[in-house]
Structure 1
Amino acid sequence: MKAVIVSIGDEVLNGDVADTNAAWLAERLVELGVEVAYHTCVGDVEEHIEQSLRYAAKRVNLIVASGGLGPTHDDLTRHAVAAVADAPLELHEESLAAIEERFRRLGRPMPTQNRIQAMIPAGAAVLPNTEGTAPGFVVQIGGAHAAFLPGVPREMRAMFDISLAPFVLALPIERRAVRAERLQTFGLPESVVNERLGALMQRGANPLVGLRVSGGVVSVKLLASGQTGEAADHLLASVVGEARRRLGEAVFGSGADTLELAVARLLERHNATLAVAESCTGGLIGHLLTNVAGISRFLLEDLVTYSNAAKSELLGVPPELIAAAGAVSEEVARAMADGVRRRARADLGLSTTGVAGPTGGSEAKPVGLVFIGLATAEGTRVERVQLVGSRELIKDRAAKCALNLLRLHLSKAGDWGR
């Protein structure tokens, strides 16, 4: 089975809004055993939408489109579909009732213009919208099944998972079983990950292995296909195991795991408490950790000690040490980690101090230089990292480098629970 993904809307075509829908839909379709032939984007011009649909219907079995189902004058998808499928728009009473009920729950009457959202091409299969007002629908265009989903990502994703995915799986078309896994890594550049994976990255291999970089995290996507689910599972498991072996401690999780989630799991495993003192990262480590539910059991405090006075008054860093070594130094990072651990009576103390830029650097201490301290009962270590980029990027990477240092320590620690 082959599919085309169509994104509809001037805001996507003109670059005002990133087309995240197409990427998400492609990933989900591939996981369902559907080959994606191409993506296309078209603006809010009825004639252009019609042309795009006619072209796609001659080339694939499945069209999945998103956007243009709203209640405004430029939401023209339903009109274009009615013309191409030769199926006049009809009022779908159940959809109208659902839209009215949604507005009733919001405590206000339904605007008259929203009635157009319940106008569906005759004979279409309706896809209910559990997250918004616009229903989706599936029609036949030539030899292709064509599905139309809302453009709002939250609504589109829910509709796909609840209604369209089962529809696609029920189509009487031969497909190979597909299994996917994603490994999350940190601390290795994309080029090094690629080099370590070596022949596993060979184009056309099964499983297919690809890399994606976001926020300093290199994700390794592995996609296996087979005649049966069991065959695909076997192929995937063998290559995932080999990829983990080659990447070693750089792998911190799988699926949608984040670095902060990996750290939280390790803190829980060791029943260890943590205190953090941040300077150049400005509270970002605490922000990331508090995105994880239940972290309050392990994170005792996070202090932003940005000034020299705060480092001395709150952490006990001697003013003479700051004067001699500088606020951005191995010595001060060590004293900060020791100080926050002692202050909170925590098992672990983590600190950051650095030059986030764009000013403030020197030849000896350039912009992007960061010292990360980690204090434990066995002693304190400091890691020096040199980062490049904007102020915001340096802060982000420094926070993640600190979390990664903590992760690596906890991964190697014994079961020394309190």
Structure 2
Amino acid sequence: MKKEISAEIMTIGDELLYGQVIDTNSAWLGQELGKIGIRVKQITSISDNPDAITEALNQAISRADVILITGGLGPTKDDLTKHTLTRYFNTELQLHQPSLDDVEEIFRKYNRPMLEVNRQQAFLPASCTPIRNVLGTASGMLFYEQETVIVSMPGVPFEMKRMVTDTVIPYLKQHFALPKIIHKVVQTVGIGESFLAEKIADWEDNLPPNLKLAYLPFLAGVRLRLTGFSQEGLDLETQLQEQVDKLSALLPDNIFAYGEVSLEEAIGQMLKDQNLSIATAESCTGGLVAHKLTSVPGSSAYFMGSVVAYSNEVKKAQLGVPAQTLETHGAVSEETVKAMAQGVRQLLKTDIGISTSGIAGPDGGTPEKPVGTIWIAYADAHQTIARKINYNKTRLLNIEYTALQVLDLIRQSLRRRVEE
């Protein structure tokens, strides 16, 4: 097996440490490095301070084959990365004419005057290999020190991503003898992480040594990522698929997709495959289910509309819920959500109607129906199914969890239609 190449990601900027800006760069870089077989061993965030940058760089060079640095390359006085790297590598700044040409072109394009601070961005450390920035004014810089590749890039995400895609990844693939790594993602829903781990324990214990399993929980379920590392004389793709097939046999009711597919995307595909239309009637979720369904491109093929029936008056007038049902059983009840699901289906003339009604909190609960008491329903031409769920969470989490439970109810119902 080829030597594992390790990487460290360094993000520079006080705004990251203060929490004023969320670091999305590190997550994206980790994913891109993983695709080519480079494993990120550490992510470090440091302030705009020369001593802090120098100390972090010393430590990173001692333990990583690749160091990717983002941030601190702007034109203002608090952007110190370039000057710190110039001193660190004992070199000097010199004008890089191609970078200056790019900067001047950007200012011409937007018909803006170029200041001296912008011109200074074209001065780069003499010992670096410049990396062109086609989307901004700050060039990237590549250094090679003690067999470690160090790359410094802007912190602006779209500028950094273009550099990585166009230049950095191709360079790393050429520079290092990288092992082949393949990831297989299996998406599960309706089972908690601990129960899932127990259910597949024997399978996991018998995985070959070159395959590793990771549990990645999210609100609706757990993503299982199976990572395979190439070995000589082994068809890695075939080996991984054999294990995924075994896993699928263990979790027939919980797997909703393979690969990076969301639950709402999987449901959308099922609706398309079965040529079915759907509409929602939402009370406590306030349209969140509709939002999730319509976040999928092409959802107009199956999603017809939604009624946010927050008040009883709307439930009666728009959805046809009988007044007697509301008076006898209340808005948060099996009878009401069934009537809502049937009503929206009839109103919008769809194959499927979905409904939600509950007490999301933080107040509004009673001893009989405490906060977190929620009913959901599914209706089609053959059946109407209602489920009661109980959460004891914050308002927003109650709403989010309910929407995900509804999506899973749709998934299960669509599966049954196919099986029947």
Q: TM-score, normalised by structure 2?
A: 0.92
Distance 1:64 1:338, change over 3 A: same
Q: How many equivalent residue pairs?
A: 415
Match of 1:196 among 183, 199, 204: 199
Query: Deviation digits for residues 123-180 of structure 1, max 9, x if unmatched?
Result: 4222233443322221112321111122223332332222211111001x33321111
The alignment partner of 1:248 has SS state of coil
* Contact 1:63 1:144 survives alignment (8 Å): yes
Pairwise mapping of residues 108-257 of structure 1 onto structure 2 (< 5 A)? 108-171=112-175, 173-199=176-202, 201=204, 205-227=209-231, 231-257=235-261
Query: Deviation digits for residues 209-251 of structure 1, max 9, x if unmatched?
Result: 1122233342212211013696332332222223333332322
Is residue 55 of structure 2 the alignment partner of residue 47 of structure 1?
no
Distance 1:343 1:239, change over 3 A: same
Give the aligned CA root-mean-square deviation in angstroms.
2.3
Please identify, of 66-75 and 7-16, the stretch whose mean Cα deviation from structure 2 is larger. Answer: 7-16
The alignment partner of 1:364 has SS state of coil
CA positional deviation for 1:66: 1.4
CA positional deviation for 1:276: 0.9
**Identity across aligned pairs (percent)?**
36
Please identify, of 271-280 and 388-397, the stretch whose mean Cα deviation from structure 2 is larger. Answer: 388-397
* Contact 2:279 2:306 survives alignment (8 Å): yes
CA positional deviation for 1:31: 2.6
Pairwise mapping of residues 311-326 of structure 1 onto structure 2 (< 5 A)? 311-326=315-330
Please identify, of 156-165 and 345-354, the stretch whose mean Cα deviation from structure 2 is larger. Answer: 156-165
Match of 2:270 among 246, 266, 273: 266
The alignment partner of 1:414 has SS state of helix
Tell me what 1:406 maps to: 410
For residues 417 and 285 of structure 2, the distance between their equivalents in structure 1, rounded to whole angstroms, comes to 26
Is residue 40 of structure 2 the alignment partner of residue 36 of structure 1?
yes
Q: TM-score, normalised by structure 1?
A: 0.92
Pairwise mapping of residues 309-388 of structure 1 onto structure 2 (< 5 A)? 309-388=313-392
Pairwise mapping of residues 269-280 of structure 1 onto structure 2 (< 5 A)? 269-280=273-284
Tell me what 2:90 maps to: 86
For residues 390 and 112 of structure 1, the distance between their equivalents in structure 2, rounded to whole angstroms, comes to 52
CA positional deviation for 1:16: 3.6
- What is the identity, as a one-letter code, of the residue corresponding to 2:93? L
* Contact 2:102 2:134 survives alignment (8 Å): no
The alignment partner of 1:300 has SS state of strand
The alignment partner of 2:335 has SS state of helix
CA positional deviation for 1:402: 0.8
For residues 230 and 205 of structure 1, the distance between their equivalents in structure 2, rounded to whole angstroms, comes to 13
Please identify, of 279-288 and 211-220, the stretch whose mean Cα deviation from structure 2 is larger. Answer: 211-220
Distance 1:363 1:17, change over 3 A: same
Distance 1:115 1:243, change over 3 A: farther
* Contact 1:100 1:109 survives alignment (8 Å): no
- What is the identity, as a one-letter code, of the residue corresponding to 1:61? D
The alignment partner of 1:69 has SS state of coil
* Contact 2:220 2:405 survives alignment (8 Å): no
Distance 1:229 1:175, change over 3 A: farther
For residues 234 and 107 of structure 2, the distance between their equivalents in structure 1, rounded to whole angstroms, comes to 46
For residues 112 and 67 of structure 2, the distance between their equivalents in structure 1, rounded to whole angstroms, comes to 36
Deviating beyond 4 angstroms after TM superposition, the runs of 4 or more aligned structure 1 residues are 199-205
Distance 1:400 1:270, change over 3 A: same
* Contact 1:177 1:228 survives alignment (8 Å): no
Distance 1:119 1:326, change over 3 A: same
For residues 204 and 15 of structure 1, the distance between their equivalents in structure 2, rounded to whole angstroms, comes to 42
CA positional deviation for 1:50: 1.7
CA positional deviation for 1:106: 3.7
Match of 1:2 among 6, 9, 22: 6
- What is the identity, as a one-letter code, of the residue corresponding to 1:397? Y
CA positional deviation for 1:397: 1.3
The alignment partner of 1:50 has SS state of helix
For residues 211 and 264 of structure 1, the distance between their equivalents in structure 2, rounded to whole angstroms, comes to 25
CA positional deviation for 1:263: 1.3
Match of 1:393 among 389, 397, 400: 397
For residues 250 and 162 of structure 2, the distance between their equivalents in structure 1, rounded to whole angstroms, comes to 36
For residues 310 and 316 of structure 2, the distance between their equivalents in structure 1, rounded to whole angstroms, comes to 11
Distance 1:47 1:213, change over 3 A: same
